[in-house]
A and B are shown apart, each in its own frame.
Chain A
């Protein structure tokens, strides 16, 4: 399968713990995006990368959130000192540079903070 993969699919943690999600994009895609989606709502933009460079980060993203894409391939999203309000589905998407922009999404990583 050459689609976008995310790991883990589900994560349950206690408030205050750190969590990390991983995204492996489609291999030839150099743009990678992270979104957050709460139940019944649209995806909310968090950040995106072109290769290893993080080009934009949402102002809604607190400093407890950090994302990396060290070699321009897979990406990680870390949430430090989790809060109950962080409970959501975290979606990763990728696309090719110079494309007309449709995003290819993974199935998401669901975070539950107790």
Chain B
């Protein structure tokens, strides 16, 4: 069965500093990996995905994520955080062995301090 772990409930970073939000996954076969962001009282918005190819993928709002197959990780990163990046971030994985179910992690709240 597929699963996603986000080990940090909250990440605090100062504006202008780099940020990392961690994610590890477990899935049979080759994973499709995703990051979504949720602002207060809003639906989830897709940020970026890894399907195949380059291990560093770039997405919306200056975010990027690094896929590491040996560590089964897919950490979200941004070189310089903005206060407006403060939100709830979810890592997700889709099993591609026949099903199309996407499983989400519990989420990490990012707080960027001015």
Contact = CB atoms under 8 A, between A and B. Distances in A.
Interface string B93-114: 0100001111111110100000
Main SS at interface, chain B = strand
B99 A56 contact: yes
A56 B44 CA distance: 22
A104 interface: yes
Interface string A35-74: 1000011111100101000011000000000000000000
Contacts of A103: 34, 36, 44, 46, 102
A105 B43 contact: yes
Interface in B49-65: 49, 51
B45 A40 contact: no
B70 to A, nearest CB: 23
A102 B49 contact: yes
B13 to A, nearest CB: 20
Interface in B16-38: 32, 34, 36
A45 B102 contact: yes
B94 A101 contact: yes
Nearest to B42: A107
A91 interface: yes
Nearest to A92: B43
B67 interface: no
A58 B105 CA distance: 16
Nearest to B47: A102
B11 to A, nearest CB: 15
Interface in A64-114: 91, 93, 100-108
Interface string A7-49: 0000000000000000000000001010100001111110010
Interface of B: 4, 6, 32, 34, 36, 41-46, 49, 51, 88, 90, 94, 99-107, 109
For the complex of A and B, list the 3 residue pairs with the smallest distance between their C-beta atoms, beginning with the closest.
Answer: A42-B104, A105-B43, A107-B43
